[in-house]
Structure 1
Amino acid sequence: MSLPDITKHVGELACQKDSYLKSIVTKVVRCEKVVPAATNGKKKKGAAPESEKKDAWEVELLDTVIFPEGGGQLHDTGSLTPTIPDATAVHVSNCQRRLLSCIHTTSAPLDPSTEVRVNVDWPRRFDNMQQHSGQHLVSAVLDLPPYQLETLSWGMNATEAYVEIGRKLSEEELQALEDRCNELIREDLKVVVHTSNRVDDQGNLPADYDPEKGTVRVVCIGDLDRNPCCGTHVSKTSQLNAISILYTTPSRGLNTKINFVVGDRVRRTAKQSVGRLRKLGNKLSSQIDEITDKVDKLMDDKKDTEKREKTWRQLAARFEAEKARAALASHGKAFIHASEGGIPHLSEIAAEIGEARDTGVVLLVCGDDTNENDGGPVMVTGEESKVKELAAEVQKALPDVRGGGKARWQGKVGKWWPGDVEKLRKLVEGDAHDDNHHEAGDQTQKRLDKPSKSKMQPRFCIFHDAIVPFTLDP
């Protein structure tokens, strides 16, 4: 059987004339290798490395059952197989409209005039049809009383779809919307596609689609809705099975997006959601209906823990600051190392040291160098000229440190290596760390032994998760 050599334009494709057609035989009109776009040396976020990128080709056919992305609907995928014995199928990963042409992205080249069988990935296609027809139904109901809300935009992805409207709906309005859509699904309304020459049907066409050379298609749902659309649709509302509104999200200005699923996605979403809830319930040792209360209690416990942690961190900061002040008083410089806490903890220690650092210099380090670990912050604070000098020594000792500042220099170590912290300690304390440590300890003990003017000295002691005040009688 000979095939006509007239290329069908978008609007007259086989997939648009019959959404349920899964396969046709046609010919290759054009095939060109895809030339990667110039990146100017900049790598796009999430892009595959150059070594992993595969060659691709753009193929144009006389006709196709693979729908090109458009009208908010995702593109189809499928395959092209030459009609010769033992031919290998060529995968179609993408399909896009270019003006009036339909362009297939393939994994291998095909010679022009080659006869091929085009097969569409039917599960993906039917899912797209359900979501798209479902969107028409949701928008049609929103357009009528009591809502009378225009659909400003819509979209879909692999898991859900949305329509954007001009205001937020109440929970009662959302439930009524879902109920009405499902009533119309059960009414089994016919979904019919017509072609149109009416000027008012051309208002929503893409700017690069020429209606005089192309074809304007209008989708009708019974007497309920009439809307220009290039997509593929179910033949009656009963094939949507069900619509479930999942949640809403705020959008531009006062606009709201209503997120929903249609058809087989309702079943899959319900199954996945219950599965996740059961797993979460098992982790929390609770039934599904108890999860919310259990999480509320965990959040309250977390807040209490954070409060206690803040108190402990403040006490630790005061203790470290006291050691630093003693070192500054005797040597004019001090070294502080904290294994955790980050910049907030180092800043808290620096604040506690106070004016004692104004004529000296303090090096504060946070991280664990006992093994090869992720890096951490480094801070140098004090008199500006001394800060500049010590910061330069820090960068010389650890070349990968990056930072800046004057009276307070702040940097970050990309990765801690064993011995790094000791290198920084020696910049301040030299090789006499042990002697200095004992001397600072003796000074601290003398201050503890020195009688106070008050009769009692308040102290704090930390026992696991409690902070207990007590006093020492001098």
Structure 2
Amino acid sequence: MENKLYYQDAYIQSFTAQVLKQEKDEEGNWYVLLNQTAFYPTGGGQPHDIGKLGESNVINVEEIHGEIRHYIDMPLYDTQKEVLGAIDWEQRFDHMQQHAGQHILSAAFEQLFDYKTVGFHLGNEMVTIDLQTENLTEQEAKKAEELANQIILENRSIEVKWVTEKELSQYPLRKETKVKENIRLVIIPDFDYNGCGGTHPKATGEVSAIKVLDWERQRKNTRLQFVCGNRVLKQLGQKQRILLQLTSLLNAPEKDMEAAVGRMLENAKSQEKLLEQTKEQLLQFEAKDLNDKYYTDNIVNEIFQNRSIQELQKLARFITANNENALVIFVSNNEDKLQVVCAKGKARNENMKTIIGKSLPFINGKGGGNDSFAQGGGEKLITPEEMLMLLFELSK
């Protein structure tokens, strides 16, 4: 472990090293092997570090077959000289805060409710843990968050110990370790004992704060979202900006925001309902006009521009409901496709499903229906006028 400087001191921000190898992987990506490194590779739910090696940007770090590969955006110019490595400290410390916070929150849930953590992911915006419970209450989440923040406030030490498999029995581990050699324990005395290969701060106080954001059921577990440290301030800042914008837009103080939004949603529903009723009335008027227009032979045939098939279906039903002798043939010319609706009143004998079925192959279309009402659509392989004439001829 001597070449893994991040295990010697997680606070190392820069270091020098000898280049052991520089080459491309199977996908043509440049990577470098060093005799020692402070760059943490992806593992155990924690993302890799980023930073610089000389003038090259380190964009990925992976441990493959025991080698820590530093993937870089361009090859190093001189591999014979020592290279200076610099960690992106803002990201590294953020990962340290989030990972330690995960240990604290997971231990809190287990101690309070015996909810074990069975999954962990450290994302760019938030952290998630999968808790072994199907139902998490708001009260339980609140209590676990309070205990976690109490542990942070007490600024307890976070210790690291390397132990053998035989020595594990001396510690009340939260879960069984997967590795059998070079076992690394991360310990918050009298609170949490856990096997972990990640980077952590020296004390819980450096986690700063933990805030639970949300949770949802994932199969038989609960996936809980939270943030720690500087991410708490970032989340607060984002939400505060949004809240201030909403108070201005809604002309309501923060404490009345919920009621103001509720009123707005109710008004929107009322307006939506009124608009739908108005559309229905307009369609009914349109249906009457079309019935009057074609009252002589009762064959209502029209071409529309960019009308939805749902509107045409309603219009056809209004016509046939008020005129049992009506035959309706509608074609809608919608950009690069044609849509058709055919309907009949109960006094007529034509089969709408048959008419639609025979016409759709001419536009490479699909559709369906029954003997009194059918619809479909397809490509604009013929003109709308030709389609209307075809439907008219098939109805004879």
TM > 0.5: yes
Does 2:384 correspond to 1:424?
Answer: yes
Residues matched between the structures, number: 368
Residues 298 and 326 in structure 2, CA contact (< 8 A), matched pair in contact too: no
Letter in 2 for 1:30: K
- Alpha-carbon offset, residue 122 of structure 1: 0.3
User: Whole-Å Cα distance in 1 between the matches of residues 148 and 74 of structure 2?
Assistant: 44
- Match of residue 229 from structure 1: 196
- Alpha-carbon offset, residue 24 of structure 1: 1.1
Letter in 1 for 2:367: G
Letter in 1 for 2:238: Q
Letter in 1 for 2:388: V
- Match of residue 26 from structure 1: 17
The correspondence of residues 401-412 of structure 1 with structure 2, limited to 5 A, is: 403-406=365-368, 408-411=374-377
User: Whole-Å Cα distance in 2 between the matches of residues 293 and 413 of structure 1?
Assistant: 49
- Match of residue 194 from structure 1: 161
- Alpha-carbon offset, residue 251 of structure 1: 1.9
Aligned partner (choices 145, 162, 176) of residue 178 of structure 1: 145
Q: What percentage of residue pairs aligned between the two structures are identical?
A: 26
User: Whole-Å Cα distance in 2 between the matches of residues 118 and 156 of structure 1?
Assistant: 24
From the superposition, tell whether residues 391 and 357 of structure 1 become closer, same or farther in structure 2 (CA, over 3 Å).
farther
Unaligned runs of 5+ in 1: 1-7, 37-54, 82-88, 370-374, 396-401, 415-419, 431-474
Residues 28 and 61 in structure 1, CA contact (< 8 A), matched pair in contact too: yes
Letter in 2 for 1:65: A
CA RMSD of aligned residues (A): 3.3
From the superposition, tell whether residues 428 and 134 of structure 1 become closer, same or farther in structure 2 (CA, over 3 Å).
same
Aligned partner (choices 7, 18, 22) of residue 16 of structure 1: 7
Residues 320 and 336 in structure 1, CA contact (< 8 A), matched pair in contact too: no
Residues 304 and 332 in structure 2, CA contact (< 8 A), matched pair in contact too: yes
- Match of residue 348 from structure 1: 314
User: Whole-Å Cα distance in 2 between the matches of residues 357 and 96 of structure 1?
Assistant: 74
- Alpha-carbon offset, residue 34 of structure 1: 4.4
Letter in 2 for 1:227: N
User: What SS class does the counterpart of residue 152 from structure 1 fall into?
Assistant: strand
Does 2:99 correspond to 1:94?
Answer: no
- Alpha-carbon offset, residue 128 of structure 1: 0.5
- Match of residue 256 from structure 1: 222
Residues 303 and 388 in structure 2, CA contact (< 8 A), matched pair in contact too: no
- Alpha-carbon offset, residue 306 of structure 1: 2.0
User: Whole-Å Cα distance in 2 between the matches of residues 229 and 317 of structure 1?
Assistant: 67
Residues 334 and 429 in structure 1, CA contact (< 8 A), matched pair in contact too: no
- Alpha-carbon offset, residue 391 of structure 1: 4.2
Residues 319 and 326 in structure 2, CA contact (< 8 A), matched pair in contact too: no
Report the more deviating stretch, 105-114 or 175-184.
105-114
Residues 214 and 226 in structure 2, CA contact (< 8 A), matched pair in contact too: yes
TM-score normalised by the chain length of structure 2: 0.81
User: What SS class does the counterpart of residue 281 from structure 1 fall into?
Assistant: helix
User: Whole-Å Cα distance in 2 between the matches of residues 60 and 359 of structure 1?
Assistant: 81
Does 2:335 correspond to 1:379?
Answer: no
Letter in 2 for 1:411: G
- Match of residue 130 from structure 2: 164
TM-score normalised by the chain length of structure 1: 0.69
- Match of residue 439 from structure 1: none
Unaligned runs of 5+ in 2: 344-351, 391-396
After superposition, what is the alpha-carbon deviation per residue over 1:371-390, rounded to whole angstroms, capped at 9, x for unaligned?
A: xxxx7872343534543565
Residues 335 and 429 in structure 1, CA contact (< 8 A), matched pair in contact too: no
User: Whole-Å Cα distance in 2 between the matches of residues 181 and 387 of structure 1?
Assistant: 66
Report the more deviating stretch, 113-122 or 218-227.
113-122
- Match of residue 363 from structure 1: 330
- Alpha-carbon offset, residue 411 of structure 1: 3.0
User: Whole-Å Cα distance in 1 between the matches of residues 157 and 385 of structure 2?
Assistant: 80
Residues 130 and 233 in structure 1, CA contact (< 8 A), matched pair in contact too: yes
